Structure 1
């Protein structure tokens, strides 16, 4: 595998984490809960990217393969939980 193939594999591995990390903060800003966010939009996206990528990597290590639906479910739950903490939703 060449350099281009390696970059392509890494990009495709991280694409679900990046997509969720970009779309979740954008969608939550439309609700009343998102108006009191503690972090800015870009910082929120960076935190969610790290959380989601960590869950994907943990799923890869645990199941020894990529693309398991349980890993994607865990990523969605972890991303939503991190977003809940970042917007301080327990105060609402």
Structure 2
């Protein structure tokens, strides 16, 4: 495997986590417009992306394969927790 193949694999591994974080942050800002008026979209995205990436790596380590439905379910729960923490929880102040 060459450098660009490895880079392509890494990009495709990270894309679901980053895509879900971007979509979830945008939907959260749209659905809770008043409540999240003081929270930047980028802050929501960062919190969700970090949690998603942790869940994605954990799923890979535990199950030994990428792309399992349990990993994506864990990623959904982690994304929700990250958005709640940054948008409504203790991370809102920081």
Q: TM-score range by the shorter chain?
A: 0.7 to 0.9
Moved more, 42-51 or 52-61: 42-51
> Which of 1 and 2 has higher RCO (CA within 8 Å, sep 6+)?
1
Cα distance in 2, alignment partners of residues 69 and 82 from structure 1: 20
* Structure 1: 5+ residue stretches without partners: none
Please name the residue that 1:26 is paired with: 26
The root-mean-square deviation of aligned C-alpha atoms, in Å, is 1.5
Please name the residue that 1:36 is paired with: 35
TM-score, normalized by length of structure 2?
Answer: 0.84
Alignment length, in residue pairs?
88
Deviations 1:16-47 (A, max 9, x none): 1011110011011112x343335311122122
**Segments ≥4 residues shifted beyond 3 Å:** none
TM-score, normalized by length of structure 1?
Answer: 0.86
Please name the residue that 2:68 is paired with: 68
Cα distance in 2, alignment partners of residues 80 and 19 from structure 1: 14
